[in-house]
Amino acid sequence: MVITIFVFVILVVRIGFIQFVQGNFLREKAYQQQTINQIISPKRGNIYDATGKALAIGAQVDTITINPTKLVKSNETDTKDYKEKITKKLTEIFSLDYEDTLKKVNSDAQVETIIKKVEQEKVDVLKQWMEENKIAVGINIDEDTKRYYPYSTVASSVIGFCGNDNQGLSGIEAKWESVLTGTPGKIVSSKGSDQQEIPNAEETYISAENGSDLTLSIDLNIQSIVEKYLKQAVDENECRRGGNVIAMNPKTGDILAMASYPDYDLNNPFTPNSVLAPTYDSLSAEDKSKALSKMWVNKSVGETYEPGSTFKVITSAVALEENITSTDKAGDFYCQGYEEVSGIKISCWAKNPHGVQTLRRSLCNSCNPAFMQLGKRIGTSTLYKYYDAFGLFDTTNSGLYGEQNSIFQKLDKVGPVELATMSFGQRLNVTPLQMITAISCVANDGMLMKPRIVKEITNTDTKTTTENPTSQVRQVISKQTAEQVKSMMETVVTDGSGRHAAVSGYSIGGKTGTSEPTEANAEEGYVASYVAISPIEDTQLVLLLTLYDPKGKNGHQGGQVAGPVVSQMLSEILPYLGVPADEDASSNLNADNLVVVPDIRNKTVAEAEKLLKQAGFRTKVYVEGDPTTVLVADQTPKPGNSLLKDSIIVLYGQGSSISTSVTVPDLRNMNASEAINSLKSKNLNISMEGSGIVTTQDYAKDEQVQEGTVIKVTLKQILTQVH
Residue 721 located in a structural domain: no
Cα Rg, the chain, nearest whole Å? 33
Work out the pLDDT band at 469, boundaries 50, 70, 90: very high
Confidence of residue 29 (pLDDT cuts 50, 70, 90): confident
Most confident of the ranges 45-54, 674-683, 700-709: 45-54
Which pLDDT score, from 0 to 100, does residue 119 have? 77
Is the same domain home to 491 and 413?
Answer: yes
Residue 258: closest CA among 432, 69, 108: 432
pLDDT (0 to 100) of residue 186 = 63
pLDDT at 694 (0 to 100): 86
416 and 365 inside one domain: yes
Please name the residues in contact with 579: beta carbons below 8 A apart, sequence gap of 6 or more: 506, 534, 535, 540, 541
Q: Work out the number of other CB atoms within 10 angstroms of the CB of residue 342.
A: 9
pLDDT in tens, 217-228: 999 999 999 999
Which of 150, 186, 140 lies closest to 58, judged by CA? Answer: 150
pLDDT exceeds cutoff 60 at 460: yes
Mean of pLDDT values over 98-117: 88
Quote the pLDDT of residue 723. 31
- Residues 195, 174: contact at Cβ < 8 Å? no
User: How large a percentage of the chain has pLDDT more than 70?
Assistant: 92
Does residue 198 belong to any structural domain of this protein?
A: no
> 221 in a domain, yes or no?
no
Instruction: Assess if residue 271 is contained within a domain.
Output: no
CATH of residue 87's domain is: 3.90.1310.10
User: Is 424 a member of any domain?
Assistant: yes
Same domain membership, residue 244 and residue 163: no
Residues 651 and 547 in one domain: no
Residue 720 pLDDT:
40
At residue 232, does pLDDT exceed 70? yes
Expressed as residue numbers, the domain containing 416 is 227-265+302-576
Q: What is the pLDDT of residue 35?
A: 57
Helix axes 368-378, 312-321, angle to 10 degrees: 40
Q: What is the pLDDT of residue 695?
A: 85
Does the pLDDT value for residue 575 go beyond 80?
yes
Q: What value does the mean pLDDT take over residues 273-297? A: 94
CA distance 629 to 387: 46
The count of domains in the chain is 4
Whether 455 is in a domain gets the answer yes
**722 pLDDT band (50/70/90 cuts)?**
very low
Of 579 and 476, the structure prediction assigns the larger pLDDT to 476
Give the pLDDT of residue 717.
65
Specify whether the CB–CB gap between 429 and 524 falls below 8 A: no
Peptide bond into 665 cis (omega under 30): no
The string of pLDDT tens digits covering residues 162-201 is 998 789 999 999 999 999 998 876 665 555 555 555 555 5
What's the pLDDT score for residue 538? Answer: 92
How many angstroms separate the CA atoms of 605 and 621, rounded? 8
Buried/exposed 91-118: b ≥16 CB within 10 Å, e otherwise: bebbebeeeebbebbeeeeebbebbbeb
Neighbouring residues of 712: CB distance < 8 A, sequence distance ≥ 6: 686, 687, 688, 689, 697, 698
Q: What is the pLDDT of residues 309-322, one digit of tens each?
A: 999 999 999 999 99
List the CATH number of the domain containing 624: 3.30.10.20
Among the candidates 515, 546, 576, a domain finishes at 576
The mean pLDDT of 382-401, rounded to a whole number, is: 96
CATH code of the domain covering residue 437: 3.40.710.10
Q: Are residues 572 and 591 in the same domain?
A: no
Q: Are residues 114 and 149 in the same domain?
A: yes
pLDDT at 391: 96
d(CA 545, CA 160): 21
Q: What is the pTM of this model?
A: 0.75
Task: Between 674 and 549, name the one with better pLDDT.
Answer: 549
User: Residue 647: CB partners within 8 Å, gap ≥ 6?
Assistant: 595, 617, 618, 685, 686
Mean pLDDT of 337-352: 93
- Does residue 577 carry a pLDDT above 60? yes
Confidence tier at 520 by pLDDT (50, 70, 90): confident
pLDDT at 25 over 90: no
Q: Over 132-176, what HEC string results?
A: HCCCCCCEEEEEEEEEECCCCCCCHHHHCCECCCCCECCHHHHHC
Question: Is pLDDT of 355 > 90?
Answer: yes
The set of residues, in sequence order, having a beta carbon less than 8 Å from that of 174 and lying 6+ positions away, is: 160, 168, 401
503 & 638 share domain: no
545 and 641 assigned to the same domain: no
pLDDT mean over 2-25: 87
DSSP state of 347: E
Considering the domain architecture, whether residues 521 and 637 belong to the same structural domain is answered as no
Q: What is the mean pLDDT of the chain?
A: 89
Q: Give the 3-state secondary structure of residue 483.
A: helix
CA distances, 349 to each of 358, 362, 524, 553 (Å): 18, 12, 19, 18
The model's pLDDT over 657-687, given as tens digits with 9 standing for 90+, comes to: 666 788 899 888 887 877 888 888 888 999 8
The pLDDT of residue 193: 57
- Does residue 200 belong to any structural domain of this protein? no
Same domain, 612 and 531: no
Of 576, 597, 631, the one marking the end of a domain is 576
Q: Residue 280 falls within a domain, yes or no?
A: no
Same structural domain, 354 and 495: yes
Mean pLDDT of all residues in 266-275: 94
Per the model's pLDDT, the better-predicted residue between 396 and 195 turns out to be 396
Place 466 in a pLDDT band, splitting at 50, 70 and 90: very high
User: Does the pLDDT value for residue 111 go beyond 90?
Assistant: no
Answer yes or no: are the C-beta atoms of 691 and 584 closer than 8 Å. Answer: yes
Q: Are residues 571 and 589 in the same domain?
A: no
Which amino acid is residue 487, in one-letter code? Answer: S
553 pLDDT above the threshold of 50 = yes
Contacts of 177 (CB under 8 A, 6+ apart): 167, 168
For the residues 140-154, what does the mean pLDDT come to? 86
Whether 64 shows a pLDDT value over 60: the answer reads yes
Reported as a single tens digit per residue, the pLDDT across 600-621 is 988 999 999 999 988 888 898 8
Higher pLDDT, 421 or 351: 421
User: What would the DSSP string read from start to end of 71-90?
Assistant: ---SSHHHHHHHHHHHHHHH
